[in-house]
Amino acid sequence: MFTQIQSATRLHFLPPPLPPDSPFRRRTQHFQRHRFCSSFRCLRVISCSKVTADGRNTSSAVRSGEPTSSQEDEVRRAYTFHEIEPKWQRYWEENKTFRTPDEIDTSKPKFYVLDMFPYPSGAGLHVGHPLGYTATDILARLRRMQGFNVLHPMGWDAFGLPAEQYAIQTGTHPKITTMQNIDRFRSQLKLLGFSYDWDREISTTEPEYYKWTQWIFLQLLKRGLAYQAEVPVNWCPALGTVLANEEVVDGVSERGGHPVIRKPMRQWMLKITAYANRLLEDLEDLDWPESVKEMQRNWIGRSEGAELQFSIVDIDGLERDINITVYTTRPDTIFGATYLVLAPEHVLLSAIVSDAQRKDVEEYKELASRKSDLERTELQKEKTGVITGCYARNPANGISIPIWVADYVLGSYGTGAIMAVPAHDTRDHEFALKYNIPVCGVVTPDNGSFSYSEKAYTGEGTVINSSNPTSGLDINGLPSKDAASKVIEWLEKTGNGIKKVNYKLRDWLFARQRYWGEPIPVIFPDDTCECIPISETDLPLTLPELDDFTPTGTGDPPLAKAVSWVKTVDPTTGGSARRETNTMPQWAGSCWYYLRFMDPKNSKALVDKEKEMYWSPVDVYVGGAEHAVLHLLYARFWHKVLYDVGVVSTKEPFQCVINQGIILGEVQYTAFRDSDGNLVSADSIDEMGNFSQENVPEEKVTKSGDYFVLKDKPNIRLSARAHKMSKSRGNVINPDDVVSQYGADSLRLYEMFMGPFRDSKTWSTSGIDGVHRFLARVWRLIVGSPSVDGKFKDGTVDLEGDPSIEQLRCLHRCISKVTEEIEETRFNTGISAMMEFINAAYKWDKLPRSIVEEFVLLLSPYAPHMAEELWSRLGHLSSLAYEPWPKVNPEYLKESTVVLPVQINGKTRGTIQVKKECTEEDAFKLASHDSKLAKFLDGKTIKKRIFVPGKILNIILEVQNVKVGQR
- pLDDT tens column, 833-862: 999 999 999 999 999 999 999 999 999 999
Please name every residue paired with 525 in a beta bridge, in sequence order, or none if there are none.
577
For the stretch 225-248, pLDDT in tens is 999 998 878 888 888 878 877 678
In this structure, the strands spanning 110-115 and 620-623 are parallel
- Is pLDDT above 80 for 93? yes
Helix (H, G, I), strand (E, B) or coil at 68: coil
Q: Given this model, what pLDDT does residue 14 score? A: 32
Helix (H, G, I), strand (E, B) or coil at 948: strand
Per-residue confidence band for 749, with pLDDT thresholds at 50, 70 and 90: very high
- Burial class (CB within 10 angstroms; exposed 0-12, middle 13-18, buried 19+) of 121: middle
Per-residue confidence band for 567, with pLDDT thresholds at 50, 70 and 90: very high
**Residue 768 to residue 772: CA distance in whole angstroms:** 6
Report which secondary-structure segment, H or E, holds 567.
Answer: strand 567-569
Superfamily of segment(s) 302-503: Valyl/Leucyl/Isoleucyl-tRNA synthetase, editing domain (3.90.740.10)
- Is pLDDT above 60 for 21? no
Q: Given this model, what pLDDT does residue 269 score? A: 95
- Is pLDDT above 90 for 610? yes
Q: Given this model, what pLDDT does residue 967 score? A: 40
Report which secondary-structure segment, H or E, holds 113.
Answer: strand 110-115
Q: Given this model, what pLDDT does residue 539 score? A: 97
How many other CB atoms sit within 10 Å of the CB of residue 936? Answer: 17
Structural domain boundaries in the chain? 302-503, 664-730, 780-892, 895-957
Q: What is the mean pLDDT of residues 115-122?
A: 90
In order, the DSSP letters of 511-550 are: -BS-SSSPBP-EEEETT----EEPPGGG---PPPP-S--S
Please name every residue paired with 212 in a beta bridge, in sequence order, or none if there are none.
none
Q: What is the largest CA-CA distance in the chain?
A: 135
Helix (H, G, I), strand (E, B) or coil at 908: strand
Q: Given this model, what pLDDT does residue 433 score? A: 95
**Residue 940 to residue 477: CA distance in whole angstroms:** 87
CATH class of 780-892: mainly alpha
Residue 4 CB-half CA count within 13 A:
12
Percentage of residues in the chain with pLDDT exceeding 90?
62
Q: Given this model, what pLDDT does residue 334 score? A: 97
Query: In Å, how far are 189, 431, 783 from 98, measured between CA atoms?
Result: 14, 63, 27
Q: Given this model, what pLDDT does residue 169 score? A: 83
For the stretch 146-177, pLDDT in tens is 999 999 999 999 998 888 888 888 889 999 99
CA torsion angle 171 177 178 182 (round to 10)? -170
Per-residue confidence band for 45, with pLDDT thresholds at 50, 70 and 90: very low
**Residue 50 to residue 452: CA distance in whole angstroms:** 58
Q: Given this model, what pLDDT does residue 65 score? A: 35
User: Is the C-alpha dihedral spanning 83, 85, 91, 94 positive or negative?
Assistant: negative
Per-residue confidence band for 960, with pLDDT thresholds at 50, 70 and 90: low
**Residue 157 to residue 120: CA distance in whole angstroms:** 7
pTM of the full predicted structure? 0.80
Please name every residue paired with 945 in a beta bridge, in sequence order, or none if there are none.
955
**Residue 588 to residue 332: CA distance in whole angstroms:** 42
Q: What is the mean pLDDT of residues 10-30?
A: 36
Q: What is the mean pLDDT of residues 554-569?
A: 91
In order, the DSSP letters of 164-186 are: HHHHHHH---HHHHHHHHHHHHH
Phi, psi angle pair for 635, to nearest 5°: -65, -40
Q: Which bin fits 600, alpha (ψ -120 to 50), beta or left (φ > 0)? A: alpha
The dotted CATH code for 895-957 is 3.10.20.590
CA angle 363, 369, 374 (to 5 degrees): 130
Comparing CA positions, the residue from 234, 276, 256, 279 lying closest to residue 509 is: 234
Indicate the residue type of 853. E
